[in-house]
Structure 1
Amino acid sequence: MSINVFHLLETVLSEQVVKSLGARYGLTPELTRKISGAAAPAIMAAIMHRGTTPEGARSLFSTIMSPEVNAQIGKQLPDLLTSTAGLSQLEATGRELVQKATGANVGALSDAVAAQTGTPQSTAFSLAGVVGAAMMGILKHHFTASQGFVGQLPTLLGHQLSSVNASLTDRLAGAVGLGSAAAFAGSILSRLKDVSAHLDHPQPVVRPVPASVPPQTVGMSTPPIVEEKRRHHWLWWLLAALALIIAFFALRSCQHDEQAAPEAAASAPPAAVAASDAASDAAAQSAAQAASQANSASAAVAASGTVASGAVAAVAASDAAPAPTQDSHLSFTVDKSGVPTITATVGTEAEKQQLMDALTKKFGAGKFTANVNVDAATKPAEWLAHLDGLLPLMALPGAEVKIDGTHVELSGAAADAKAGWLDKLKALFGSGFDIGVFNVQKAVADATQSFRDAVKGLFATDASCAGADVAKVLNLQVVNFKTGSSIVPASAADDLRQSARALIACSKRGQPVSLEVAGYSDNVGDKAANLALSKQRALAVRTYLASQGVPLSRLTAQGYGDVNPVESNDTESGRFHNRRIEFIAKQ
């Protein structure tokens, strides 16, 4: 089982903790969250980079599991902030751990965070230590609780990439020695996958095979065990261990050369090595008995090879199957009569059946709508364990819920504070889940900040004016029109002015960019009206950019209505993201 470190970090850095930190440093909670939001992806990216070599992964895992890392920091952090001495110690420890785990220069990272957030370097330096200590504690808690091992580290780190990509800028990536954010994102998963093959992975425990004793019959005595055989019993196990190691690496390197008869068992076909434990044990005991009777070292090696083949083949088969990489998904919306429409993606047919059985039991056959997909690349659906607590919410008229992995988002009637579902679900799911209510203002503010961080790069002398690169940055902004309106909102004016400046700068460098301004809507209401409104909004944005000096000849506008949704329209956040202005590069 993997985790999303960023979701857990938001839980550790709760609203109260962020307020306490802000008070300590003389910051608003919003600015405190902004600093931590810049430091965290850079630290995680540096950790991921360190884990791309066998030596780096082993060193990283050793640091994570070291006594200096506090696995209980999630519970203890509020107490640590009550004293100046406790906070200072936490900062220093966190910086030392980040330096030791990643090799990155925390001072350079702090400079980049300070420049990106507009805060003093000393404050960024302090908060980087707190964030680093919290992230290392989260990792240690996970590995300790799950009895994890270093071989699981690359997969876990790979699962953090989407969260890193969402906030990592070139400035932050450069500060921790990663080059550009795009270069890091483009190569990190393949490097983590490559290193995984060189790390230790769990193997089935091979049970010791006792010396075989001939069946006893009434009236017959058991032959005495020769003392010489007992004295050298350890030799057979040493040879067996050597054979196991040889067989393991032979399979891992995919060498299938023809072998002599004593080695045939180690290269048996999958059907043969998939025998039950009882059958494997029986075969191993028979081989050990023959080895004992022959008193031959070679026979002992052959016997150990028989035992090893099943274990090693199981490991090889496990390695062959790629680890799931995407989060499970569940979303539902409930109509006015209390009938739910459910959309889900799970990793196995068994999970799908569990969900369908629960829905049928709760609502009755044919009294709900469900679209459940099975995708082998999907990680286990942890929310299934809490399904009984979710079912009553699925009958609440107007309720909307979206779950991606361990992130739970409420909207509609489910977000009504009087109903208390937010607190109920927090108690139901526990600290391992990030549960919140969708907030349009926060979504706009987050998008605005991401855009303003990224657009600065378009004004650099060496900035790319390739249409796709420019469009990628411009699409980070949100033009949040009022319902039914095509007037550019004041909240988007500054960002559109920056967009115009970037386009004009490219033109001055002799690299003009041509764009289509595309308008999209959600699926609520009349399709024809939505199509017309999306066209009007696209034209309004085109006109605004032209008013800021962008040649109209470089801009076209088109409305597409509710086609090509980027998220499900089942929830408020999905509809919010689908109602968008999108910039498309044109030749």
Structure 2
Amino acid sequence: MSINVFHLLETVLSDDVVRTLAGRFGLAPDLTRKVASAAAPAIVAAIMQRGSTAEGARGLFSTIMSPEVNAQIGKQLPDMLASTSGVSLLETTGRELIQKAAGVNVGALADAVAAQTGAAQSTVFSLTGVVGAATMGILKHHFTASQGVVGQLPTLLGHQLSSVNASLTDRLAQAVGLGSAATFADSIIARLKDVSAHLSHPEPDMRPVPAAAPPQTVVHPAPPGKPAARSHSWLWWLLAAIAVIIAFFALRSCQRDNAEDTTQTGATQPAAQAAFQPASQPASQPASSAAVAASQASDAAAASAAEAASSASEAAPVPTRDSHFSFTVDKSGVPTLTATVGTQEEKAQLIDALTKQLGEGKFNANVTVDAATKPAAWLAHLDGLLPLLALPGAEVKIDGSHVELSGAAADAKLGWLDKLKALFGTGFDIGVFNVQKAVADATQSFRDAVKGLFGPDASCASADIVKVLNLQVVNFATGSTTIPASAGEDLRQSAKVLNACAKEGKPVKIEVAGYSDNVGNKAANLALSKRRAQAVRTWLVAQGVKASTLTAEGYGEANPIDSNDTEGGRFHNRRIAFVAQQ
């Protein structure tokens, strides 16, 4: 059984849901629907591209079945959109899933959708995350309900082509790394069919062996005058009856599943899907006798058992965390690196390559093996990365398929950005860290989210408040405790939110926590982080927030949220965090 993802997405993004999203993001409902309708085919097309290789299909299936994907999103979406924190979590999770599933640069996709629809890029960026989360949830729900396996994924993806073709433009296709829409459409079906055939035919020793048919008992008439020998044929008839009962209930279950899928998907799938149908698939096979029925039921039970065994193997807990690799090279050319991989074999491969390239004892490495970590795809491109480990001042961070360059590695004159894009290909998102852009992106995310904290249905729950406040960035100058101008407006909005809750008799108590990176003196960093936290508290109190609801504390380089190996990581660790207090 298959589904039409786009029909189901229209059901999930009902008119009520679209109106709620429109209110959250300050768009007209029609424009909100237009943005979703532009983003969805690009996301699905990128997923199809990822599923067009055996390795990609396996990785994609693992992402779909991972705990981060909500299979019940169709039912739960209205509740998620009821709070600002729910919306924020939904869009963030959705963007991360798009990146993991298809290796898409969500920012580039948002730019293309914004240009096509006329909506603001920042709003499209947020809505794209919601569409991504909903799309992945639909796929997981289908595979969970049908006990689907990875071998069925390319077929399902192929069924989406006609809907993708109807809306995918060249600009959107290029934004997700597919080239032109026509080129993608011309080649994707053949590639998906090849992968489907490969994944659908496991090795013979992996195929369950069907039980042998029971021997037939031949009953001869007893000679006259002799009692008839006792026959055991009744036993086979009993087994046949049981098998018929099992087959009846299995058929009823399948009919219910088919009815549900038919209700959701509507019309019969178009001709493009026919390419994926089995060559021979009888509509019905009526039994002519109880023995035939028993044989069919036995075959069905064996097939069901085989599928269940395959499903159990495929749906077994899979690694959910991205692999990590980061390094910084000191002035003398000695790299210090940190990595997290899923197996000892990957660790050995990494260490062996470093030793061969740099020499024994010529690098500092901290490599952790964590079974919850996905395979490190970047290991296949390690040879191209190794020259960077000898470049003084180079900094590189890789999380899953996201590659970030800083320091000397980001020097445009050296051309490493283009080199790595050519080396890694379209499956990786490769960019240069830019602090101004990071601050601007954080500011826009905060301003989009904080709107939901005003109005009659706004939440004053501590968890909702701090979730939004922590989207902003207070980017202090080096060694300074002066509130930067870039943070002034966001902190004013934060104060307005806290004052509004206090006015309603729902004061929110918060700790302002200061953190630093690990550069410099540890004690000095601790003291500086505390002074910065106090500066933010003082600023908020000056805006009318009750001093009794705010405390300030500094924690220095404790509790880093990112690696200190790179500029981007250190930027994330130098932060002001807002923590809800009882």
In the superposition, the TM-score normalised over structure 1's length comes to 0.60
Give unmatched runs, 5+ long, in structure 1. Answer: 1-54, 64-96, 210-238, 250-295
* Residue 572 (structure 2) aligns with: 577
1:6-32 CA-to-partner distances (Å, cap 9, x unmatched) read xxxxxxxxxxxxxxxxxxxxxxxxxxx
Q: How many residues align?
A: 410
Asked if the contact 1:448/1:477 (under 8 Å) is kept, the reply is: yes
| Structure 2 CA distance for partners of 1:378 and 1:154, relative to 1, 3 Å | closer
| Structure 2 CA distance for partners of 1:148 and 1:534, relative to 1, 3 Å | closer
2:136 pairs with 1:136:
no
Shift of 1:367: 1.3
In the TM superposition, what are the counterparts of 1:417-428 in structure 2 within 5 Å?
A: 417-428=412-423
Asked if the contact 1:386/1:428 (under 8 Å) is kept, the reply is: yes
Give unmatched runs, 5+ long, in structure 2. Answer: 95-132, 152-199, 210-239, 251-290
* Residue 59 (structure 1) aligns with: 3
Distance in 1 between residues matched to 2:305 and 2:21, nearest whole Å: 52
* Residue 85 (structure 1) aligns with: none
In the TM superposition, what are the counterparts of 1:31-430 in structure 2 within 5 Å?
A: 58-60=2-4, 63=5, 97=6, 99=7, 101-105=9-13, 124-146=32-54, 153=61, 155-156=63-64, 158=66, 173=81, 192=140, 196=144, 198-201=146-149, 202=151, 204-206=202-204, 315=310, 318-319=313-314, 321-430=316-425
- More off after superposition, 513-522 vs 319-328: 319-328
Shift of 1:389: 0.1
Identity of aligned residues (%): 58
**What SS does structure 2 have at the residue aligned with 1:418?**
helix
Asked if the contact 1:517/1:557 (under 8 Å) is kept, the reply is: yes
Distance in 2 between residues matched to 1:581 and 1:129, nearest whole Å: 37
Distance in 2 between residues matched to 1:193 and 1:487, nearest whole Å: 50
**What SS does structure 1 have at the residue aligned with 2:336?**
strand
Shift of 1:156: 2.3
**What SS does structure 2 have at the residue aligned with 1:582?**
strand
Asked if the contact 2:21/2:81 (under 8 Å) is kept, the reply is: no
1:23-82 CA-to-partner distances (Å, cap 9, x unmatched) read xxxxxxxxxxxxxxxxxxxxxxxxxxxxxxxx7xx314xx5xxxxxxxxxxxxxxxxxxx
Asked if the contact 1:150/1:199 (under 8 Å) is kept, the reply is: no
| Structure 2 CA distance for partners of 1:363 and 1:183, relative to 1, 3 Å | closer
Asked if the contact 1:110/1:128 (under 8 Å) is kept, the reply is: no
Shift of 1:411: 0.4
Distance in 2 between residues matched to 1:309 and 1:511, nearest whole Å: 57
Shift of 1:583: 1.2
Asked if the contact 1:535/1:559 (under 8 Å) is kept, the reply is: yes
Shift of 1:530: 1.3
Q: Which has the higher contact order (CA 8 A, sep 6+)?
A: 2
Among candidates 531, 535, 539, match of residue 536 of structure 1? 531
**Residue identity in the other structure for 2:491:** L
- More off after superposition, 475-484 vs 462-471: 462-471
Shift of 1:171: 10
Shift of 1:147: 8.9
Among candidates 414, 430, 441, match of residue 435 of structure 1? 430
Asked if the contact 2:325/2:339 (under 8 Å) is kept, the reply is: yes
Distance in 2 between residues matched to 1:179 and 1:364, nearest whole Å: 50
**What SS does structure 2 have at the residue aligned with 1:558?**
strand
RMSD: 4.5
**Residue identity in the other structure for 2:148:** D
| Structure 2 CA distance for partners of 1:358 and 1:148, relative to 1, 3 Å | closer
**Residue identity in the other structure for 2:3:** S
**Residue identity in the other structure for 1:138:** A
Distance in 1 between residues matched to 2:560 and 2:319, nearest whole Å: 25
2:486 pairs with 1:491:
yes
| Structure 2 CA distance for partners of 1:368 and 1:451, relative to 1, 3 Å | same
In the superposition, the TM-score normalised over structure 2's length comes to 0.61
**What SS does structure 2 have at the residue aligned with 1:575?**
helix
Shift of 1:463: 3.1
**What SS does structure 1 have at the residue aligned with 2:389?**
helix
Distance in 2 between residues matched to 1:208 and 1:115, nearest whole Å: 54
Distance in 1 between residues matched to 2:368 and 2:208, nearest whole Å: 44
2:441 pairs with 1:446:
yes
Asked if the contact 1:112/1:171 (under 8 Å) is kept, the reply is: no
Distance in 1 between residues matched to 2:504 and 2:78, nearest whole Å: 22
